[in-house]
Chains A and B, each alone.
Chain A
Amino acid sequence: MPLLDRTGLRDDIWVRSEDGASGAEHVIVGFAYLDAALAGNGRGRKIGVAIANDVKASALEPYLEQVELISIAFPNYGDGRGFSIAKQLRALGFKGVLRAHGPLIADQFAYALDCGFDEIDLPDSVALRQPIEQWLAMAGTISHTYQRGYGAQNILDARRAARTTV
Chain B
Amino acid sequence: MYRYDEFDARFVRERVAQFRAQVARRLDGSLTEDEFKPLRLKNGVYLQLHAYMLRIAVPYGTLSSRQLRQLALIGEKFDRGYGHFTTRTNMQFNWPRLRDVPEILDLLADVEMHCIQTSGNCIRNVTADHFAGIAANEVEDPRPTAELVRQWSSLHPEFDYLPRKFKIAVTGDARDRAVVKAHDIGLRILRSKDGEVGYEVMVGGGLGRTPMIAKTIRDFLPKKDLLAYLEAILRVYNLEGRRDNKYKARVKILVHEIGAEEFARQVEEEFAKLDGPSIAADAQEVARIAAYFAPPAYETLPARSLAFEAAKNENRAFATWASVNLFPHRVPGYAAATISLKAIGEAPGDITSDQMRAVADLAERYSFDEMRITHAQNVVLPYVKKDDLFAVWEGLVAAGLATANAGLITDIIACPGLDFCSLATARSIPIAQALAHRFGDEKRQLDIGELNIKISGCINACGHHHVGHIGILGLEKSGQESYQITLGGDATETAAIGERLGPGLAADDVPDAIERIVNVYLARRTSGETFIEAVRRLGLEPFKTAFQEKTHAAA
What is A's interface to B at a CB cutoff of 8 Å? 56, 77-81, 83-85, 87-88, 91, 105-108, 110-111, 114-115, 129-130, 134, 137-138, 141-152, 155-156, 158-160, 163
Contact = CB atoms under 8 A, between A and B. Distances in A.
A149 B277 CA distance: 10
A159 B151 CA distance: 13
Contact of A147 (B7, B30, B157, B162): B157
A85 to B, nearest CB: 7
A110 B21 CA distance: 15
B11 interface: yes
B290 to A, nearest CB: 14
B7 to A, nearest CB: 4
Contacts of B195: none
Given A78-B161, A146-B152, A146-B156, 19 more contacts: A77-B35, A78-B38, A80-B162, A80-B238, A81-B238, A81-B243, A83-B161, A87-B235, A111-B157, A111-B161, A129-B29, A137-B21, A144-B11, A145-B154, A145-B155, A146-B154, A148-B279, A159-B5, A160-B284
Given A78-B121, A142-B11, A146-B152, A130 B30 contact: yes
Contact of A81 (B152, B239, B282, B284): B239
Nearest to A131: B30
B31 A80 contact: no
B284 A163 contact: yes
A-B interface, 7 closest residue pairs, ranked by CB to CB distance from nearest: A80-B161, A114-B157, A111-B157, A155-B7, A141-B18, A146-B151, A83-B158
B288 interface: yes
Contacts of A149: 278-279
A124 to B, nearest CB: 15
Contacts of B137: none
B161 A144 contact: no
Contacts of B30: 106, 129-130, 134
Given A105-B31, A129-B31, A143-B14, A80 B158 contact: yes
Contacts of A111: 157-158, 160-161
Interface residues of B, number: 45
Contacts, number: 116
Given A130-B30, A156-B281, A159-B288, A147 B35 contact: no
Nearest to B154: A146
Most buried by A among B35, B155, B282: B35
Contact of B158 (A87, A107, A159): A87
B193 interface: no
Contacts of B512: none
Contact of B11 (A79, A129, A151, A155): A155
Interface in B230-260: 235, 238-239, 243
Nearest to B152: A146
B158 A115 contact: yes
Interface string B7-34: 1101100110110011001000111100
B287 to A, nearest CB: 11
B7 A158 contact: yes
B285 interface: yes
A56 B239 CA distance: 9
Interface in B472-528: none
Contact of A148 (B18, B161, B278): B278
B10 A144 contact: yes
22 contacts: A78-B38, A78-B161, A80-B161, A80-B238, A81-B238, A81-B243, A83-B158, A83-B159, A84-B235, A107-B31, A111-B157, A111-B158, A111-B160, A111-B161, A114-B158, A137-B21, A146-B11, A147-B156, A149-B278, A152-B157, A155-B7, A156-B282
A80 B160 contact: yes
Contacts of A143: 10, 14
Contact of B239 (A85, A115, A142, A147): A85
